[in-house]
Chain A
């Protein structure tokens, strides 16, 4: 049994890093929770003009909802093309590569591009619109990948049934495969939202201001956001981190909730989809 104990030791050693990862997450969460005291309904609903975080919260929500609305359809259509229509060949491989590359572009470069293209070239300036377009670039690869996966696992018999009934290719896909893949697609959109809700570098030059009255009246106006405000207060105003605890906690909650929802949905639908068994 010498080799068995040897094996146990190896596995134990392997397990240490895992424990480190888990500890790291819980440590981060625990630290943030110590600031729960600063959170109350008042803080969430009071305007920034009186020291609250209301516009920042809504601004963050505006930003990721708009970005998801732009990246969602484009991403789903792209995924459908890649799974159902794309001829296997060089061009398709290049598209695939491009999606992977887009996913790997550092967020600061996306921000730089967003600033010079959306803000300056297209003239959107520092606005909600520029933020939407820039953040959409970050959500897009996530939606494409997730939707691809969701569409791929739908049995082809679904769309073939519709095809056999005389529907066009697009009609068959949209009425059967797409609907069946919908849960997976929505999950990927939620994951995309979780990714950009806390994004700072991409919106640093494209859409945010430090203080303004109220919420933007049109997408061409700038917006206040949780991540931006937190970053500027620490770096530009030199405030000690303790002062932004409340904002950090809200942001953490938003991101964790969206991530958890995505994870739960994925598990739930994995069980519910009968064609997987």
Chain B
């Protein structure tokens, strides 16, 4: 067994050596892996001190207090989940419906323009979303619900949903468009209406792709920093309603990194939170990949 492996590896490198350019190309391709490892290593290294001090309390402890050197991040995790859940609640129905509509219902000449507008929506920078949120949504929420400040979990969810919808639409749209024409034509030929075709043929085939798009949307939403930090109110607690302010993990890191002294316990704790976020997004992205691959196999 191991001989076969050794043979494979050595022949691989022999073939590389024969063309120096291939080595360059190979290195460039491996760059992503190298960077990911470096990222994991360095973020973990900086967070190590905090983890050894607090262990799982870093994520599940209830209080984060600079003065008493107590770093518990549970309110932040709670805030992140609240805001992400709220955003997905809005973004999934809108995103999936839009993807179906654009890929199946819209006449050909409209498809590209509408897709382009949605792409433009995706490319708007986070800080501009936050700006618009502060300018328009925050006062709106505060007047509609009669609050002191419109910076709430609801506001953050609304803005975040706008940012997540394009992800869901583009990935789902691609999957739905990839359903082979023959399947649809067969269904229509058998007398089914377009809607029935969508329901019984297109959607089941695209199911895993749509699921993957939702997971990617989740990853996008949970990692969003800037826009959320501008509209969520930034209070680290576990509120009982969406009309209160929350703090998410990435926003917290962004606002507190500046003031923490390098090498201090707080600095390490922030990196620890970052590591947790990194691992969550790794898992979500890898799962999404697996879901798509499994779907392709079954479809």
Contact = CB atoms under 8 A, between A and B. Distances in A.
Contact of A28 (B28, B116, B132, B219): B132
A195 B274 CA distance: 22
A252 B29 contact: no
A259 B31 contact: no
B47 to A, nearest CB: 10
A234 B32 contact: no
Contacts of B289: 97, 100
Interface in B238-284: 250, 253-255, 257-258, 262, 270-271, 274, 277-278, 281-282, 284
A101 B36 contact: yes
B132 A21 contact: no
Contacts of A227: 125, 127
B274 A109 contact: yes
B89 interface: no
Contacts of A20: 94
B32 A99 contact: yes
Interface stretch (B17-25, B67-75, B180-188): B17-25
B33 to A, nearest CB: 4
Nearest to A170: B21
B10 to A, nearest CB: 14
B124 A252 contact: yes
A21 B165 contact: yes
B33 A104 contact: no
Contacts of B26: 81, 85
Interface residues of B, number: 87
Contact of A18 (B98, B131, B250, B262): B98
Contact of A106 (B24, B95, B195, B225): B225
Interface in B201-245: 216, 219-220, 222-226, 229-230
A23 to B, nearest CB: 10
Interface residues of A, number: 90
A153 interface: no
Given A98-B36, A113-B43, A31 B132 contact: yes
A221 to B, nearest CB: 19
A96 to B, nearest CB: 8
Contacts of A117: 38-39, 42
B125 A198 contact: yes
A197 B125 contact: yes
Interface in A180-202: 191, 194-195, 197-201
A98 B250 contact: no
A31 B135 contact: yes
Given A21-B118, A244-B131, A198 B193 contact: no
23 contacts: A7-B195, A17-B93, A18-B98, A18-B102, A21-B98, A74-B28, A85-B25, A104-B219, A104-B285, A105-B223, A108-B225, A108-B253, A112-B271, A113-B39, A113-B42, A168-B19, A198-B126, A201-B250, A234-B131, A241-B131, A242-B135, A248-B128, A263-B116
